[in-house]
Amino acid sequence: MPQVKFRVFASALSAAAMLLAMPARADGLVDDVTGVALDKDGRVIHFTGIVINDDGTVKKLLGRKDKRPERPDWREDMHGKVLIPGMIDAHGHVMELGFRELSLDLSDTSSLEEAQRKIAAFTAKNEGRPWILGGGWNQEKWGLGRFPTAADLDTIAPDKPVWLMRADGHAGWANSAAMKAAGVTAKTETPKGGRIERDANGKPTGIFVDAATALIEKVVPKPTPRDRDLAFVRAQEKLLSDGITATADMGTSLEDWMTFRRAGDTNRLRMRIMSYALGVDTAQIIAGPGPTPWLYDDKLKVVGIKLYADGALGSRGAWLKQPYADAPKQTGNQLLADDQLLNLMSRGAMDGFQLAVHAIGDRANQQVLDAIAELSDTYKGDRRWRIEHAQIVDPVDLPRFAKHGIVASMQPTHATSDMHMAEVRLGEARLKGAYAWKSMLDMGVPLAFGSDYPVEEPNPFVGWAVAFTRQDANGEPFGGWHPEEAITREQAWRAFTQGGAYAGFAEDKFGTLAPGEQADFLIVDRDPTLASPSELRETKVLQTWVGGLPVWKRK
C-alpha cells in the first residue's frame, strides 16, 4: 500500500460526528409490539418497542413504561403484533434451494405413480428445455421397497434426458436418454466414493449414488449467469418468507459466490449469508489468503470451508463403524483418506478459515474427531471446528465434541424424516447417540440448528417444534421418537438463533436483539413461546426485517 504520509481528510468522519451531535435525529422506532426474545443467557425476555440506529442496528429494547424517543426519524406501529428475532439456519444450500424452486419438485409425492404423473406434466409444460431437471423424490416415502429405475422414466419421457436428485441430494435417477447422453453403459466403471445400481447383467438401472452422480452431472447443461441470478432471487424470497434472516451456505462454489456478489453489488442482497467455500481450493479462489471481511453491511462473508467425510444415510452413503443393518456388506462411503482430510483441514486452518466437515455416519464422525484432535495441538485459539449433521455418533465419541469446543451443526427435521429409515439402516442398538441433541447440550457442546434446505423445507418453525417434541407433522410417534434426546423449547430456539450466529463467528453481529446487534426481526402471527407444537409449526411470518429495514412482507 502506498505510504500516504500526509493527512487523510476526514470530511466524511466529521459529517458523521455532526449528525451524532443532533439528539435523536437518526433513530427509528418500531413500536407497540408484543416482543419476545432470548437474552444472551438464553432466558425469555419481553419488550414492546425497538429503537433502531440509523445504521440499522438495535439501539435499545423498550418496555411498556419506557420513554419513547421524542422525535424519531421514522416510526412503525405494529398494533400489538408479535415480534421475535430473525431465525438463523446454520446449514443450508442457498443456490440449490433456488434451483429447486425453479425445477421439478417431487418432494410432495407419496408414490411412484404420483411422481410419474408430475414428471409427465412438467415435461409437457417445458418443451423448450433440453433436459428435465428436478428432485426431491424419496423411495422410502413412496413405500416402493426398491429404488426407481430408468424404465420407470422411459415410459413417460422416452426421448428427452431426465435427471432427478433424491431428496437427500446423495443420489440421482436418470432415464435412458440421460444415460445415453452421458455415455453410461454396462462397461462404465464405478467411480471411487460412488455406486451405480446395476441389474443382474451389470447394466446400470438408472440410480447413481454419491460420486457416481458426476457421471450424469457432467453432461447436464450448465446454468447461465442469468439462470443463477434468478435462482438466487427465488431462494432469498423463500428464505425471507420463512423468517430466515441469516443462513450459513454450506459449500459455496465459485459460481455461487459470484452470484451472491452480483446480488450485493446491485443492492439485491437482503439477507445475511455466512459462506463456507466448497473445498480448500475454492476458498483460496473466492476469499484469498483468509476469510473475507463482512461485505455489504454485514450481509456476506466467507467464514470457512466445507468438506465432506461421507455421504447420507438414506442412500447408504453414510460411513459406519459396523455394516448397515439392512445391507450387511456395506459400511458406506469414506470420501477422504485420513491423511487427505487432515491435509485439507490443515491447509484451511493455516489460512485462518473455519472448518465445517460433513459427517453423518459414526465412523465418519470418528474420523473427523480424530483429525480435529490432531489439529488442535497445532491450531490453537478459538477455532470453532464444526461437524455438520453429526447424525450418528458412537456414544464413546460424544464427549470429544465438548473437549475440542466443536460446534454440532444439526438439523432437527432430519430426525423425524429419517426415523423409520434410520431404524432399518442402523437397527435399534445404534440409535443411542443418533440425533443426540440433548446429550450434546448436556455435555456443553454448542448446538447450531438448521434445516439442510433444500433437502428439507427451510421453515425453521417446523424444526423448532421437532426439537422439543421429536414428533413429525402428524404428532407421530406418540410421546416422541427417542424422547430422551428432546431439548426444551427455549434451548431449541436458541440453537436456531444465537447458536447459528455463534457457529459462524457472528454472535456480535446478530442472533439476539441486544443493543449494537443488527435489527433483524420478524413480525409473526402468534407467540412461539406460547403456541402448542402443532400451532408453532403453522406460524406465519408477516414481515421480515433485516438491518432495520423491511425486506419482505406477506401479501
Site residues (CB under 8 A) for its own copies? 1-6, 8-9, 11-12, 14-15, 19, 25-26, 28, 54, 73-74, 224-226, 228-229, 233, 236-237, 240-241, 254-255, 258-259, 261-262, 265-266, 268, 270, 284-289, 292-293, 295, 548-553, 555
Query: Which pairing describes strands 82-85 and 28-38: parallel, antiparallel, or unpaired?
Result: parallel
In this complex, which beta carbon is closest to its own copies, that of residue 314 or of residue 548? Answer: 548
In this complex, which beta carbon is closest to its own copies, that of residue 288 or of residue 395? Answer: 288
Neighbours of 358 (CB within 10 A): 26
Check: CB of residue 422 under 8 Å from CB of residue 431: yes
Give the nearest distance from C-beta 254 to its own copies in angstroms: 7
In this complex, which beta carbon is closest to its own copies, that of residue 198 or of residue 234? Answer: 234
Picking from 189, 242, 236, the residue whose alpha carbon sits closest to that of residue 214 is 189
Give the nearest distance from C-beta 92 to its own copies in angstroms: 18
Question: How many residues are listed for the chain in this entry?
Answer: 555
Helix (H, G, I), strand (E, B) or coil at 506: coil
Neighbours of 156 (CB within 10 A): 18
In this complex, which beta carbon is closest to its own copies, that of residue 82 or of residue 240? Answer: 240
Whole-angstrom Cα distance, residue 307 to residue 302? Answer: 14
In this complex, which beta carbon is closest to its own copies, that of residue 221 or of residue 225? Answer: 225
Give the nearest distance from C-beta 292 to its own copies in angstroms: 6
Give the nearest distance from C-beta 401 to its own copies in angstroms: 32
Give the nearest distance from C-beta 32 to its own copies in angstroms: 16
Check: CB of residue 523 under 8 Å from CB of residue 543: yes
Give the nearest distance from C-beta 284 to its own copies in angstroms: 6
Check: CB of residue 524 under 8 Å from CB of residue 243: yes
Picking from 275, 270, 273, the residue whose alpha carbon sits closest to that of residue 286 is 275
Give the nearest distance from C-beta 396 to its own copies in angstroms: 40
In this complex, which beta carbon is closest to its own copies, that of residue 380 or of residue 555? Answer: 555
Give 220-229's long-range contacts (Cβ < 8 A, gap of 24+).
Answer: 220/131, 220/133, 220/161, 220/163, 221/130, 221/131, 223/99, 225/255, 225/258, 225/259, 225/262, 227/102, 228/95, 228/98, 228/255, 228/256, 228/258, 228/259, 229/259, 229/262, 229/263
Q: Is the peptide bond before 454 cis (omega within 30 degrees of 0)?
A: yes
In this complex, which beta carbon is closest to its own copies, that of residue 350 or of residue 530? Answer: 350
- All cell numbers assigned to 406: 466443536
In this complex, which beta carbon is closest to its own copies, that of residue 18 or of residue 44? Answer: 18
Give the nearest distance from C-beta 233 to its own copies in angstroms: 5
In this complex, which beta carbon is closest to its own copies, that of residue 81 or of residue 262? Answer: 262
Whole-angstrom Cα distance, residue 50 to residue 32? Answer: 9
Whole-angstrom Cα distance, residue 444 to residue 446? Answer: 6
Give the nearest distance from C-beta 449 to its own copies in angstroms: 24
Give the nearest distance from C-beta 68 to its own copies in angstroms: 17
Whole-angstrom Cα distance, residue 416 to residue 466? Answer: 7
In this complex, which beta carbon is closest to its own copies, that of residue 30 or of residue 356? Answer: 30
Contacts of 408 (CB under 8 A, 6+ apart): 387, 390, 401, 440, 445, 446, 447, 448
**Is 409 exposed, middle or buried, given 0-12, 13-18 or 19+ CB atoms closer than 10 A?**
buried
